[in-house]
Structure 1
Amino acid sequence: MPGIGAFVVRARWRLFRARMIDASLRPTVGYVQLRSNDPSAGYLGVYRCFGTLEAIQADDTLWITDGKISLAVRMSDEHVYYLAPDLLASGADQSELPDETPTIVPWSKIGSLPEGTRMFVCGPLYVQGGTAFFRSDGATSLTVLIYDGTPESVLERSIWSGRHRNEYWNQVTPGSLAAGSLSLLILASVYIGSPWLRSSAILAVAGSLIPVLPLMPPGVPLFFVYRRWWQHARSLRAERDLMRLPLRYDGSLRGSASDGQQYEHRAVTLEEAQELLSLGARFRSASLPAAQVGDGMVGFGVIDDQGVLTRPADPLAEFLIVQGDPATVAWRCERRARRLERLAVVAFSAGLALNLYLALVVMNWLVR
């Protein structure tokens, strides 16, 4: 059961990241889009909006504004994602991105929200009776995010933290382990009354201890090795996704941002990189050996009239400097993450096997 839960959890967070990336490619709703459509047009398409909360109407409708227009958000049966606090706003680098997984809360469980709460919404947009509103349809669900900090950091923080800390420890795990241990103890109590089933009773008792065996000496150091390697692999997967992020417009690193500006990349020197950093560009690298990352740097942004890279108007199109070739570094991050995951499983299994063997020896001595 924990294994099944792991696949469910990983798929859920993979879907969240995919929805955020898809949202970054959608157009931003504005006054022009609403004015250019017939008020009775109904469905307008999939749009996104950064806004602040104005009011909550009835039990299932939010009103948000971007400062120019107000939009309703139909929240019936929706979920809200709460992003962890924005460390980037205080000047932190990539290594200090929040390690806290976003909180998912059903709208029905949210009692109230203060006016001015910063929100990001993406989904199907409709106009009916002169009112524009977001609402899920059968094919596309709403993505509703509550965040602090700047809109420019929302996508990076979502991709970095939008993954479970350990998929194999999820809401199914405690109940599954408890049920399994209890079942084995019941079997042991039945078997222990028969001398012919002594070995089965010993195995059942030892098996019931499996949930706590990894935390017992002498195998417990291997458990902490497993945790360290698994956490490092998780960070590498996040770095892989961040490295691929500026490549999403098309495979050649060139594409049209959602507001129509042309998103470009170019190799930059150290002096150019320092100048771009002074203009507010973010620096991104990976926790790989320097030889695997490379010495070159690539800048991402839009080209101004003087032919200089600058910040895009779209807050979800990154103004960025990447150490090394992004596609190659992403591939190496993924390969190293898989290797660390395998090593983590080996360390965990070795510690468990050692403690299980000792438990069997002790049980064999105690059960006469």
Structure 2
Amino acid sequence: MSFAPYLLSSLTLAFLFYLFIPGLGAFLVRHRWRRFRAQVVRSISFPELHYGGFRETGSFRFKGRLEAVQGDDLVWLEEEGLSVGVSLRDVPIYLIPGSGTGSDSSRGFPDETPKVVYWREISALAQGTRFYVAGHVREEAGGIVFRGSEVHDPLVIIYDGPEHTFLKRTIWTGRQRNEYWNHLTLPALTGGFLAQLVVAVISVSESRLAALVATVLALVPILPLVPPGVAGYYLYRRLWRSARRRRAIRDVVRLRDVDLPGRTGRSVWMLELIAVLFLLAGIWANGYGIAVILALTVFRP
């Protein structure tokens, strides 16, 4: 087999494992957090549940403190004399961090992504833990209970920090820090590394150049982390963090029904594009250097 088929195999595998699979994960993650933010914003329009305010089944929102746990998945919240039950069976629970104090925080908001857990994963909660719940409410055995329907689960948030910044903090943090690094990224990078090594081993006896290319592509996952390409990785992280902050500011401003100019969204996309270009430049610089070293040593004719 000549050089071209091996090269095509290496490039195809690189695209599949380094771009397509992590990119698919990034799309799914961004969609999930966009849906979460939309759910939070939609919940604002629900009437607030208060003592004597429940008349019939419908959608409500409620803030309360943990009062008791009943059975396997029913918790009771209390606020101003009103006790409300929440069924947590198979319902995602979002843990919103308090105010940020680190160098990456802005306007006192944390530079963190909310953790998503399920009730069966929580071993214990202190009495008085604060909840925000929004969704379908109905009366059961004389009590008022939030319970999911076949279409929608209730929105359940456990939070800390000042009450007056709860909504802004929820919208601010409700996004992935870096969508490219998701649940599919590590398996994909590992698979790409192993697949390229297989191509290198198979092709080395027929085409040293093809084996060289496959070896360099196998090292792509670690290339951004070593000098001099690490400078590109550093700039990538800074610019991506800045783009994330701009998106968060845009979403918080929209809570006030203020429409930002269309160029704001374009500037964020441009910032992310520049960040990716810096990352690729770092990978290219390191990859070229390693290719030269390997060509003069391991793969020398």
- Fold match by TM threshold 0.5: yes
8 Å contact 2:97–2:161 — kept in the other structure? no
User: Which residue of 241, 246, 249 maps to 1:239?
Assistant: 249
* 2:168 aligned residue: 156
Q: Percent sequence identity over matched residues?
A: 38
1:41 corresponds in structure 2 to none
Whether 1:337 aligns to 2:268 is yes
| Residues 314-325 of structure 1 mapped to structure 2, 5 A cutoff | none
Alignment of 1:1-368 (within 5 A): 1-34=21-54, 36-37=55-56, 44-87=57-100, 95-192=107-204, 194=205, 196-247=206-257, 326-328=258-260, 331-365=262-296, 366-368=298-300
Aligned partners of 2:145, 2:170: CA distance in 1, in Å? 24
Unaligned runs of 5+ in 2: 1-20
Question: What is the one-letter code of the residue matched to 2:131?
Answer: M
- Native 8 Å contact 1:239 1:333 kept in 2: no
Larger relative contact order (C-alpha < 8 A, sep ≥ 6)? 2
- What are the superposed Cα offsets for residues 62-94 of structure 1, whole Å, 9 maximum, x if unpaired? 000112211111111111111111359xxxx95
Letter in 1 for 2:147: R
Residues 273-320 of structure 1: per-residue CA shift (max 9 Å, x gap):
xxxxxxxxxxxxxxxxxxxxxxxxxxxxxxxxxxxxxxxxxxxxxxxx
Query: Residues 85 and 328 of structure 1: is their aligned pair in 2 closer, same or farther, counting only changes over 3 Å?
Result: closer
SS at match of 1:146: strand
| Aligned residue number for residue 310 of structure 1 | none
2:259 match: secondary structure: helix
Q: Please, what TM-score do these two structures have when normalized by structure 2?
A: 0.87
* 2:250/2:260 contact within 8 Å kept: no
Alignment-mate amino acid for residue 334 of structure 1? G
Residue identity opposite 1:78 in structure 2? V
What are the superposed Cα offsets for residues 210-267 of structure 1, whole Å, 9 maximum, x if unpaired?
Answer: 00111122221111111111110110011111111111xxxxxxxxxxxxxxxxxxxx
Contact 1:99–1:161 (CA<8 Å) still a contact in 2?
Answer: yes
Q: In 2, Cα distance between the equivalents of 1:335 and 1:59?
A: 48
What CA distance in whole angstroms lies between the structure 1 residues aligned with 2:78 and 2:263? Answer: 42
TM-score after normalising by structure 1: 0.72
The amino acid of 1:209's aligned partner reads L
**What is the letter of the counterpart of residue 139 of structure 2?**
V
SS of the residue corresponding to residue 327 of structure 1 reads coil
Structure 1 unpaired stretches of 5+: 38-43, 248-325
Number of residue pairs matched?
Answer: 276
Amino acid in structure 2 at the alignment position of 1:208: A
Aligned partners of 1:356 and 1:123: how far apart in 2?
52
Q: Distance in 2 between matches of 1:22 and 1:212?
A: 42
1:353 maps to a residue whose letter is W
Judge conservation of contact 1:50–1:151 (CA < 8 Å) in 2: no
**Counterpart amino acid of residue 28 in structure 1:** E
Secondary structure of 2:98's counterpart equals coil
Change in 2 beyond 3 A, CA 1:108/1:2: same
